[in-house]
Amino acid sequence: MVLRIRGAGLIAGFAMAAALPVMAQQPAPPAGGPAAAPAPVDRGSALYGRPESEGAAKLAPVAPPPIPTPADKLPLAKLKAPQGFRVEVYAAGVTNAREMRLGDKGTVFVGARLTDKVHAITDENGARKVRVIASGLHRPNGVAFHNGSLYIAELSKISKIDNIEANLEHPPKPTLVSDSFPKDEAHGWKFIAIGPDEKLYVPIGAPGNINNPPETHAQIRRMNLDGSGMEVVARGVRNTVGFDWHPVSKELYFTDNGRDWVSEDVPEDELNRITASGKKHFGFPFCHQGNMTDPEFGWGHSCDDYEPPISLMGPHSASLGMRFYTGGMFPAEYKNAIFVARHGSWNRTKKVGGDIMVVKLNEDGSVKSKEPFLTGFLEDNKYVGRPVDVQVMKDGSMLVSDDFNGAVYRISYGG
């Protein structure tokens, strides 16, 4: 397989200069030649790349139980936030709670990766009601909300339900927006968001742990809300499960999960930023964490040719959902800071993650500091919960989803 970078389809500002050395090293194959075949299929799994060693043999992905934890059994007492913050259970019984979005009328929509349902949480006089609003879906991890419509991202398609908040009791079936996506299970589930440009942003992960992906994969695309005008925004993105736009600069920031099985300690997950002047290729599979060429695919490449991350988020930590804090409740130091949910590692003997990190930025959008904000999901190297996403509420409080327990927590300050 060779890397082919197309100029067409990339947003304005694509740094062709950065891509040219890569193209020079690896000329495109003749049309219809054997090199156009997809990557070897036995690399399409999380197992590819694992060394034959005793320590490695003990590690495998962690699956949560399918049944949500009852409210009174949730690990609330173990969760620790900075002084002055309060953590409470917002809703239990939200099976495999993943990406969250807030509707105009205050409904919280929650996707799922391991079950077929999308949930809606409403506040009814202080008590939360949890409803299933769509089912029979295939890995409906992603949800977005815009002008009254709920967008749902399944493994390989986006659909929507218009006027959803007026129809929570009897929602109609979702209608198709686009299914022009690869069908791979590996990294095929999606986080989605609608940008300040009113376009729907959709990632397509690398089909496996480490491979040289076809040009249809390892990227972030955007499209019009009717599915038309699909174009590539960023390449070399292994698997992003969280992104948001800076409230002032409107630049897109995204997390990216690094490859597994190189070592316990590298590469780290990334926090990235797309700037007008920056490169639009973020390195995968040639360069990881901005300074480490891949032991296999990195030969013949230099990390100088790819956009480096603005922060490293920990090895195998599974940095997933993220939002800029735009609320008015938290102290001023958190204004426009990024909250990142780290789901927690599986590909590491001593687990890392299982927390919410807060990344504070400088005026120029670079990283000023990074520190744990909500901890306690990891206890004695075992998960008692696993945070997936954060959502800022209208009152300035922040929700945290936990797919391990099927729950949503609320963090508030003062009061």
Partner 1 sequence: MRQFLVAAVIACLAAAASAAEPVAERTAICLSCHGESGRSETPEVPSLGGQPASFLLIQLYQFREKQRIAEPMNSLTAEFTDDDLREVSDFLATLPPPTPAEPAEPARMEAGKELAAKHRCGFCHNPDLSGHDQIPRIGAQREDYLVKALSEYKSGARAGYDPAMVEVAQGIGDGELADLAYYLARFR
In the complex, the smallest distance separating the C-beta of residue 383 from partner 1, rounded to whole angstroms, is 12
Minimum CB separation from partner 1 for residue 410, in Å?
24
Binding segment for partner 1 (CB under 8 A), chosen from 119-127, 186-194, 275-283, 286-294, is: 186-194
Q: Is residue 385 a contact residue for partner 1 (CB under 8 A)?
A: no
Among 29, 76, 82, 116, binds partner 1 (CB under 8 A): 116
Is residue 215 a contact residue for partner 1 (CB under 8 A)? no
Using CB under 8 A, which residues numbered 8 to 47 contact partner 1? 40-47
Q: Which two tokens stand for residue 79?
A: 């969760």
Q: Which of 98, 101, 128, 139 binds partner 1 (CB under 8 A)?
A: 139
Question: Considering the rule CB under 8 A, would residue 65 count as an interface residue with partner 1?
Answer: yes
From the list 254, 237, 234, the residue with the least C-alpha distance to 319 is 254
- Answer yes or no: are the C-beta atoms of 358 and 371 closer than 8 Å: yes
Closer CB to partner 1, residue 101 or residue 187?
Answer: 187
Question: Dihedral angle at the C-alpha atoms of 375, 378, 384, 385, nearest 10 degrees?
Answer: 60
Report CA-CA distances (Å) from 199 to 146, 228, 250, 287, 340. Answer: 10, 10, 13, 29, 23
- Within 67-106, the residues that bind partner 1 by CB under 8 A are 67
123/261 with CB nearer partner 1: 261
Q: Alpha-carbon dihedral of residues 183, 153, 337, 318, nearest 10 degrees?
A: -40
Residues 313 and 357: beta-carbon distance below 8 Å: yes
Please give the backbone phi and psi of residue 76, each rounded to the nearest 5 degrees, phi first.
-55, -45
Task: Output the smallest distance, CB 177 to partner 1, in A.
Answer: 22
Q: Is the dihedral of CA 263, 264, 267, 269 positive or negative?
A: positive
Compute the least distance from the CB of residue 208 to partner 1, in Å.
7
CB closer to partner 1, 115 vs 272 = 115
> Minimal distance in Å, beta carbon 73 to partner 1?
12
Q: State the nearest-atom distance from the C-beta of 31 to partner 1, in Å.
A: 26
| Of the candidates 286, 338, 284, 335, the residue with the CA atom closest to the CA atom of residue 313 | 338
Of residues 41-60, those binding partner 1 (CB under 8 A): 41-47, 50, 57, 60
Q: Is 264 in the site for partner 1 (CB under 8 A)?
A: no
From 188, 213, 236, 354, residue interacting with partner 1 (rule: CB under 8 A): 188
Whether 267 contacts 258, CB under 8 Å: yes
Q: How many residues bind partner 1 (CB under 8 A)?
A: 29
Contacts of 155 (CB under 8 A, 6+ apart): 138, 139, 183, 185, 188, 189, 190
Among 4, 78, 131, 138, binds partner 1 (CB under 8 A): 138
d(CA 94, CA 71): 11
Which residues lie near partner 1 (CB under 8 A)? 40-47, 50, 57, 60-61, 63, 65-67, 114-116, 136, 138-139, 183-186, 188-189, 208
